[in-house]
Amino acid sequence: MSEELFDVVNERDEVLYPLARSAVHRQLLLHRAVHVFVLDSRGRLLIHRRSPVKEEFPNVWTSSCSGHVSAGETYDETAPRELAEELGITGVSLERLQKFAACAETSWEFTVLYRTLTDQLISPDAGEMTAVAWVSPGELDVMTVADPDQYSPAFLLLYGWYRASFA
C-alpha cells in the first residue's frame, strides 16, 4: 500500500504540490485537516482518546473526529469521509464553522472545524481511538482547565474558540 499524499500549501492555503505524508510531517510543511464536533440532542460533545500508536499526540483526548485532507480533496469532502471512517456516522448534515490558520498548535495544518448534531449509534475505529466520551460543555470546560496536557493542542485551540463563540 502506497503512502498517503497530502497537498502542500502556501501561507494563503493555496495548493503547491502533493507530497507523501511522512515527508510533509518530517519537514513541518503546511497542509490541511478537518475536525468535526459531534453533539447529541442533550448538548453533549463527543470526544475521543487517541490511540497510543498515533504519530502525533498519542493517548490524549481530542475532537470527535479529525483527519488530513488528502491530495486533490477538499475540506468539505474530507469531513464526511472522516466522520464515516472514524465513527461510522453517515447521512448527517455538517455545518462548517470556522477555518483556522496553520500554526504550531494545529501541527502546521490549515484546519476547518465542522459540527453536526446526531443521536446515531457510533462505531469508533479501534485503530484511531481507544475510548470515547460524551461530555457536557460545562464538564469539558473544567476538565480542560484542570489538566490541559490530557488534550491535543489543536483540540484546545478549536474548543476554546467554539466555547467563546457558542457559549
Question: Can you tell me the mean pLDDT for 76-82?
Answer: 98
Tens of pLDDT, residue by residue over 46-72, are: 999 998 878 788 889 999 999 999 999
Each domain of the chain, given as residue ranges in start order, spans: 33-96+115-166
Residue of 96, 115, 106, 110 lying closest to 46 (CA atoms)? 115
Say what percent of the chain tops pLDDT 70.
99
Q: For the chain, what is the mean pLDDT?
A: 95
Third-level CATH fold of 33-96+115-166: Nucleoside Triphosphate Pyrophosphohydrolase (3.90.79)
DSSP state of 54: -
Do 87 and 124 contact (CB within 8 A), yes or no? yes
Question: Can you tell me the mean pLDDT for 82-87?
Answer: 96
Counting Cβ atoms within 10 Å, is residue 55 exposed (0-12), middle (13-18) or buried (19+)?
exposed
User: 33: pLDDT confidence band, cut at 50, 70 and 90?
Assistant: very high
- Residue 154 pLDDT more than 90? yes
